[in-house]
Amino acid sequence: MIAYRHALLAEKAEKWQACIGAYEAMGTLAEELRNHFIAVDAYEHAAEIKAKIGESLAGYAKPVEQWEKNADYWRERGHEDDASWSERHIKLYRILFGMQPE
């Protein structure tokens, strides 16, 4: 919660790189904890800020990588509906941020 607050304060102050850094640090920590949903949330927030300031997201694959891991996590547990939901978000992310499928 504190890290999200830090990112929001940085955004409000228009300290874009600090905001992106805070979101990416949260994403990295969540990845290390294998919490792919929280990681993708943080990385998508970073992507939103990057887009807001005009940075290209064509190569920013962190959200897609985490959605894929989240889909795998649910598929391995027999939750195909949750896996499919994650995969739909990959498509949405690619459409919203102009990232071409591999």
Neighbours of 64 (CB within 10 A): 21
Nearest-10 crossing angle of helices 36-52, 80-97: 10
The token pair at 24 is 């990416």
Neighbours of 91 (CB within 10 A): 12
Tell me which residue of 50, 59, 43, 49 sits closest to 98, measured CA to CA. Answer: 59
Residue 97 confidence (pLDDT): 81
CATH fold for domain 2-97: 1.25.40
Residue 89 confidence (pLDDT): 92
Residue 85 confidence (pLDDT): 95
pLDDT in tens, the chain (102 residues): 888 899 999 999 999 999 999 999 999 999 999 999 999 999 999 999 999 999 988 889 999 999 999 999 999 999 999 999 999 999 998 888 877 665
Q: Where are the domains positioned within the chain?
A: 2-97
